[in-house]
Structure 1
Amino acid sequence: VAAELAAAPVGAGGRLPRLWLVTRGARSLAPDEVPDLAQAGVRGLARTLVLEHPALRTTLIDLDPEGHDGAYLPAELTAGQDDEVAWRGDTRRVARLTRAAARPHPAPRPMVRPGGGYIVTGGLSGVGLYTAGRLAAEGAGCVVLNARSAPDPQALAAIEHMRASGAHVLVVRGDIAEPGTAEHLVAQVAAGGYPLSGVVHSAMTLDDCLVADLDADRLNRVWRPKAAGAWRLHRATRDTALDWWVCYSSIASLIGGAGQANYASANAFVDSLAEWRAARGLPALSVNWGGWAQIGRARDLTHDAFPMMPPPEGMAALAELIGRGVRGAAAMRLDPEALVRTVPETTRSSFFRPIVDAVRSADDLGTDPQALRALPPERLREVVAERLRERIGQILGYRGADLSRRTALTRLGLDSLMAVKTKNAVLADFGVVVAVARLLQGISLGELEDRIVGELGGEPEPQTPPPAVARAQARAQARLSARTQQRRNR
């Protein structure tokens, strides 16, 4: 539906139809409120659509699970401006991303019970393997590591180091989403005579694509280890007196992830599962991790807005969250100014308003199309050229100064996901709608600049042919000139 709306003709005022996603009781807004897990993944999808298709103004409304809808829904659909709302009775709640208050005292509960048994899924690589090492170093009696693949040399070396610290370490291969695997992990801890004290669910996989390309296979491939695996672990441990039960989620479910709707929605499910367990009196914590430095799938990625977190810092955050007894929180490094600069879609989302408002300046012409329209034509082109070059450079991975105005953006590496980001950046910065299809047809930086300036009223957009056509015209003109010269020479 979202893909069809995004491709639909614009309506009055040049706008696309607005997309509303309505759930009932999908969110837990009180400690004892049990969320409906069948709807849990919708939030991750909604947050991703905000980034992939900001023109749709995707809005998530969660209705009262008791059915007290009143007369507020029609008003919300006609006049609501926030992009994530929940109603409970006559009370309207709006989701906002804010920093957690600092805790003045150390966490009172230790993360590791000396001699206790622990299970770590996804435990033979990345963050899961590092977590297992910390558990062993802090006195765990037994650590059971689960993964589908056999340990590689790096994992084998880490396992030997854990054993040298005195921990009993077992490797149990198997698909955590398959029936019986989670129960086998629990049985392995019990067989060694250790009390099962904690569970870390770190298993995951990725299969990135745009929402329009998402199908059942790609959804299932990502959901199985993360969401189905978490449910299997819940069922296998629900009658066990655990100190804690932790799911490693991702900031993708919290803030969205362009190209990661399946991953964001799977992590939204485990976030809700933690709330679901906590509401039933079971230990539960879901941590929305940002990127970790040196380890994990995202270790080689760079993003100005989300600097990588050193592993010891991540473990300190985990220990504090376990000690606080909270059921969910994000742990990441965030640069608000870089977020506004590199993810311009956030400037139009009410969810990010506290972060955006803290850094937005009154003279930021790049986010005020009306102020741009008031500029003299020469100054308008300067501002557009500078901001557009900066944006395109960030998306393509170039320095802005190195970008050619004449080369087609596709020849510089622009793909479909980058085209979506470019479309969103142009809309956020200049209020100009550019179709993804046009960006993928060979438009150059200079032509895109002309288009924006023309729509803002500074100059009429020149009718420049696409680069491929221009090259063909140039070759034809060259051949004609050559023939003319030959005739003269005769």
Structure 2
Amino acid sequence: DSMLMNLNWDKFETVFESKHYAALYLHDGLERFSNPLLRFLWLFSSTSVYGNMGQINYSGSNAFLDALTRHRNAKGRICMAVQWGAWGDVGMASTMSDAMRLRTMNSPMPYFTNPEGLAGLEKGLSTGLPYFSVFKFNPHVMLQTVQGADHPNMCHYRNFYCEVVPTPMAPTLDRHHLYTIFRMGRGPQSKNPNAVATCKQAYINPAVAKNEREWGEDFRQW
């Protein structure tokens, strides 16, 4: 794992070789030697959906598997992808300390048990969708998380969960609220036909008028 400025191509290749390069080899082989009875099922992390800090190579490789799944389905090839959240009964999670486990279970996305994960898999497979996610959420923690907007990091998290918990309105027109403003008009809320008009009437127009009064010509030029 590395932050973007510390990544090099070798670190990308290490991840790619075991993930989407391997998937490409399988895909290419099946294109050359077709087997109509074969069903493909990719199993990988949910980082293709939400990402993880310091794992852009890992997230990118998982996102490629999503894209390859869509490509195979578009060509009439049977393929599905499962984007897993955090399993709690197996793997690294099963060896965590009690303190770390408690911290994770009180986070917006806690671990799920084996029965919960298998139930999610069964539900996803029944949809017939090319790919789907299996997550567990703590709604009350998410609601608390999206309330803060005092600095850019808080703004990031309130939009990070916007597909699950609608992003609240931005309190000001400050630069670090620009993405929140965008989500207000173009995100999940825009499915409501009155969302954009409501956003403008309730927030944007009054805020613009206020800044015009306070900043005058400087604001209009900006």
Q: TM-score range by the shorter chain?
A: 0.5 to 0.7
Whose helix proportion is higher, 1 or 2? 2
Out of 216, 219, 224, the residue aligned to residue 9 of structure 2 is 216
Question: Which of these residues, 333, 353, 356, is aligned with residue 162 of structure 2?
Answer: 353
- How many residues align structurally? 157
SS in 2 for 1:281: coil
Q: Which of 129, 134, 158 is the equivalent residue of 1:331?
A: 134
Q: Deviations over 1:343-400 (max 9, x none)?
A: 73132x3x74343327x5x8xxxx8579xxxxxxxxxxxxxxxxxxxxxxxxxxxxxx
Q: Counterpart of 1:313? A: 116
The answer as to whether partners of 1:251 and 1:330 remain within 8 angstroms in 2 is yes
1:249 deviates by: 2.5
In structure 2, the residue matched to 1:266 is 61
Whether 1:288 and 2:77 are equivalent positions in the alignment is no
Whole-Å Cα distance in 2 between the matches of residues 242 and 338 of structure 1? 45
1:257 corresponds to 2:52: yes
Aligned to 2:28: 235
Match of 1:110 in 2: none
The 3 A distance-change label for structure 1 pair 278 and 294 is same
The whole-number CA distance in structure 2 between the counterparts of 1:224 and 1:337 is: 39
Match of 2:145 among 319, 341, 348: 341
In 1, Cα distance between equivalents of 2:5 and 2:118? 37
Query: Is contact 1:346–1:356 with CA below 8 Å preserved after alignment?
Result: no
In structure 2, the CA distance between the partners of 1:308 and 1:244, relative to structure 1 (3 Å rule), is same
Contact kept? 1:246, 1:285, Cα under 8 Å: yes
Residues 297 and 246 (structure 1 numbering): CA distance in 2 closer, same or farther, change over 3 Å?
farther
Q: Say whether the 8 Å CA contact 2:87–2:93 is kept in structure 1.
A: yes
1:219 deviates by: 0.7
Rate the CA distance shift 1:298–1:263 in 2: closer, same or farther, 3 A.
farther
Gap regions ≥5 residues in structure 1: 1-207, 371-426, 429-490
Q: Give the CA RMSD over aligned residues.
A: 2.8
State the alpha-carbon separation in 2 of the partners of residues 265 and 298 from structure 1.
23
Name the structure 2 match of 1:166.
Answer: none
2:200 maps to: none
Question: TM-score of the superposition, structure 1-length normalised?
Answer: 0.29
| Cα distance, 1:307–1:218 mapped onto 2, change above 3 Å | same
**Residues of 1 paired with 2:171 and 2:140: CA distance?**
17
Change in 2 beyond 3 A, CA 1:311/1:268: same
What is the TM-score normalised by the length of structure 2? 0.61
What amino acid maps onto 1:341 in structure 2?
A: T
Alpha-carbon distance in 1 for matches of 2:49, 2:116: 20
Alignment deviations for residues 23-66 of structure 1 (CA, whole Å, 9 cap, x no partner): xxxxxxxxxxxxxxxxxxxxxxxxxxxxxxxxxxxxxxxxxxxx
In structure 2, the CA distance between the partners of 1:264 and 1:354, relative to structure 1 (3 Å rule), is closer
The alignment partner of 1:255 has SS state of coil
